[in-house]
Chain A
Amino acid sequence: MIPATHGELETAGRPVILEITGLSHHFVHDGAVVPVLRELTLTVREGELVCLIGRSGCGKSTLLKIVAGFLAPTAGRCRLDGRPIQRPGPDRGVVFQEDALFPWLTVRENIGFGLTGQHWPRQQRQREVDRILDLVGLQDCGDYLPQALSGGMKQRVALARVLIRFPRLLLMDEPFGALDAQAREEMQELLLDLVRRRRQTILFVTHDVQEAVVIADRVVVLERNGGRIREELTIDLARPRDRGDGRFQACCSRLRQWLRT
């Protein structure tokens, strides 16, 4: 019984996009040093969807912020396509966990916001926005303001405004955490569709083991409070994945085991 593989075998030979070596970070809180990440090493290859899971407070968001360039690490190297990451850049897009849409801009304007720096002809820009609106299934809501959107629709817009810039690496921090089960599954399908069409490379943070096994090529488990990587698991199950499948559940329980200890 050989599963149709997607994970390791298919992506193993591809070039490395993100290379994190010996990354450490600590916060200083009331004069006390709080270590969060310790000598962490991680690589992500082109076209790979890597899920990062770990207990609350273990430093997942911190790691993502460092890769995004919002936060400078205390020590260690972090390279994207061989260049050190120093600040936010057009090669990375971030979807935040909380709502970070601009409240005074319509859905269309929010999505087009990331193109304002680039000198696009107006018409072409409109067409591009429409195309991305279609892609995330919001063609009828282009003129809505964020306040009129549901949580799921907001996250679609948040995804769309990043996708329009074609980032090399997409960073997602528990993007579907606030959605109900139904909306969450829809978003997961949308994301997988995107990976299939655009070969988008994604580093995805979640605390939901099932979500990780549904979408990931590889799941990386952070230590509970060691700030290192505890284990990695390549999920080589064919897509679409069946949550009732025995091997699917075996993956889930293995990950749960690692999270517990």
Chain B
Amino acid sequence: MAGKEVLQSLLLPLAALSLWFGLSASGLAPGYLLPSPATVFDSGLNYIFGSPGDGPYAGRFAGDLAASLVRVLLGFAIAAGLGIPLGICSGRLALVNRLVASSVAGLRAVPGICWLPLALIWFGIGIKTTVFLVALAAFFPIYQNALTGARLVAPIYYQAGAMLGVSRLRGVFAILLPMAMPNIITGLRLGMGIAWAYLVLGELTGVPDGLGAVIIDARMLGQTDIILVGIILIAVIGRVCDRLLVAGLRLLFKSARRQR
């Protein structure tokens, strides 16, 4: 990005930050509702780099991050592992679509949070419940976009493939997946975003560690600064995950690298 574009993309965050400064400095927003940026910054440093003796949250970041990442990635992997093949099959095979479509539509109509009580009964408090919720929520956009991508591939490309000696099975990997790749990527990115949202929901339930757990924990103790630290960190890490996902796909697949 050129310098000017970087500046433009930073404009809104900077405006929000100055508003925050203004609100805290003028005393319009009391500290227990909205701690000043400096306080939050200090708490953040302490949370990330502090040593365990420095306070209840000091130095917990690495452990929380690891716990949350494992949950998100596990749930995301399950969602992608089911969503892509099922979506592709539904997009190409009328029979599979008839079998699956109405059930998926029905499940999707249920708000994700409704699954929480059931998940708690099935899996108890802990990693399984969170992974279940993350996988369930991330599944739908991944499935739907893979389906759309597969359905949109024009028959002429299969004919071209068949004419050039590609068998039906090889055509799935040589033609169908590359052609559907832009849609698959869209689905995966949406799924990754939702995965982080449902991570916090899953960690609401009282697990001891994780970025979502820290936020909930800090609310009980009235530590607004730590809540804000958690929110900012989840935003940053979510964005990093999105970037890494796109970069990884581009690294692995020509069809991701060379199509918008």
Supposing A94-B160, A96-B160 touch, asked if A104 and B255 sit within 8 A by C-beta, the answer is yes
Residue of A nearest to B256 (CB): A104
**Chain B neighbourhood of A98, CB < 8 A:** 156
Q: Which residues of B approach A to under 8 Å, CB–CB?
A: 156-157, 159-160, 162-166, 170, 174-175, 178-179, 181, 254-255, 257-259
**Chain B neighbourhood of A145, CB < 8 A:** 258
Asked whether, in the complex, the Cβ of A104 is within 8 Å of the Cβ of B258, the reply is yes
Number of inter-chain CB pairs below 8 Å: 56
Supposing A105-B254, A145-B258 touch, asked if A100 and B162 sit within 8 A by C-beta, the answer is no
A103 vs B182: C-alpha distance when bound (angstroms): 12
Interface residues of chain A: helix, strand, loop or mixed (majority): loop
A10 vs B179: C-alpha distance when bound (angstroms): 45
Residue of A nearest to B170 (CB): A117
> A114 interface residue, CB < 8 Å from B?
yes
Asked whether, in the complex, the Cβ of A104 is within 8 Å of the Cβ of B159, the reply is no
How many A residues, CB 8 Å from partner? 25
> A102 interface residue, CB < 8 Å from B?
yes
A107 vs B174: C-alpha distance when bound (angstroms): 16
> A177 interface residue, CB < 8 Å from B?
no
Asked whether, in the complex, the Cβ of B164 is within 8 Å of the Cβ of A113, the reply is yes
Asked whether, in the complex, the Cβ of B162 is within 8 Å of the Cβ of A70, the reply is yes
Residue of B nearest to A101 (CB): B160
| A68-B159, A145-B258 given; 14 more Cβ-contact pairs under 8 Å | A69-B162, A70-B159, A92-B163, A94-B160, A100-B156, A100-B157, A100-B160, A102-B179, A104-B254, A104-B258, A114-B164, A117-B166, A118-B165, A162-B163
19 A-B pairs with C-beta separation under 8 A: A87-B162, A88-B163, A96-B156, A96-B159, A98-B156, A100-B157, A102-B175, A102-B179, A103-B258, A104-B178, A104-B181, A104-B254, A105-B254, A113-B164, A114-B164, A117-B166, A162-B164, A165-B164, A165-B165
